[in-house]
Structure 1
C-alpha cells in the first residue's frame, strides 16, 4: 500500500471481501486523534515505532512487531508518540466474534513494509486474536443495544431516557458509564461512521454531509479530520 506523503493517514478500499478498508501511516511518531469508535473491528499492525491508545482511562502501547485488535464499538483515543518513525497499517474487518477489550499479540516483525502484507496475512492475524478472546458478555450485548438505540432513534434524549425508565441526567450518566461519552457525542461519532460508509460507496461529500446529519460540508470536514486524521475529500479519493 503506497504512501502518498508522510505524516498523514491514507485510506483505500481493500481487494478482499473479508476486509472493509485499509489505512496506512508513515511519519515521525504517530498522530493523536479525538476519541472515537468504529462499526468494524480494527486490526492495528505496527511495523516500526509504536502506537498508543487511551482506553477506559488507561494507556495501551502497541510496539513494533505487534498487532492489536480494537473491537467494534470500543471507544479509543489514539495518542501521539515520540518515535522517530512509525510505520503502521490499519485494517477494518467486519465485526464477528469479538473480545470485549483491546488485545495485543506479537507478529514477530515478519514484514519490513506494508507492501509485503497481503489480505490473507491480515485475516490470519484477525482470526488469531479473536480465537484468543472470550465471547462478548451480556453486559457487552446491553452496551450494543444502548448504542443502537441512540443511533437509530431520531427523538430527543429526554424521550429515549424515558423509555429506559430514567431521567435525562440519569440516562446521560448511564451512557457515559457504558459507552464512555455523552449521548450527544455518541450520536456524532455514529454519524461520522455513517459518513465513512457513504464516502466508501462513492457518494459526493456535500450529499454525505446532509445524509449523515451534519449542518454542512465544512462541519463534516472539521470533525472528520479531528477524528480520523484525514479530510473527507482525501478519504473519498482513496
Structure 2
C-alpha cells in the first residue's frame, strides 16, 4: 500500500526531517522522516520516542542490538535510552511521536495506527493527537467504570460526551477495556437486569418496561438471542425449580 500523510496547516516537508508541536493532548512533539538518508548518530531524548513506519523500513541500534521495523510496525525507544538510526537503501516514510515517559500504551497505539493506515491508506496529523490520547496509560485517566457505563447514558454519543471523548474514541477504548462494543455491553446489562426481575416473579410486561425495551416482543427477541430461551421459559424455570 502506498503511504500517505496529511500534513497540518503551515507544515510542508522540505527535507528528510520535519518536526512540529502538536496541539493539545500529551504529545510533546511530532516528527516525520522521509527518504534514504535517515541515519543519525547516537543520541537520546528526554521523552519516549514512538516510531511508526508507513513505507520502507527503519533500523535502530540500542545497546549494540539491532531493531528493524517495516510498514505498519512501530518501535518504542524509552526516554533516556541512547540509540542511533541507520541509513536505508530505499525510501522510507515514518513518523515519530514524542511523549512523556511511560505515559502511553505503545503496542496498542501501534496496532491502532496500523489498523487506521490499512483502512484509510493515510494518517492525518490533525486527528493524530486525539487518537494517541486514547492510548494514555495514566492512572488518572477515566477508565469507564462499569457502574458509569451501565447507568448514566442512553446512547453511545451521550456516553462519549460524559467521558469527554469522541464517539469513535470512546467506542475503541470501551472495546479494549471490556471486550465488546458499548451498545452490546449496555444491552447485556439490561438483559441481566431483566433476568433479576424475572427471578423474583415480575410480570413480563413490567420487566420489559423497567429495563427499557419497547415491548415484550422486543425483550423476547433479545433475551432469546442472548440466553437461548424466551423470558417466559426462563421465568417458569427459575420459579418452579426445586
Normalising TM by the smaller chain, what interval? Answer: 0.3 to 0.5
Q: TM-score, normalised by structure 1?
A: 0.45
Larger radius of gyration: 2
Higher relative contact order by CA 8 Å / sep ≥ 6: 1 or 2?
Answer: 1
Q: TM-score, normalised by structure 2?
A: 0.44
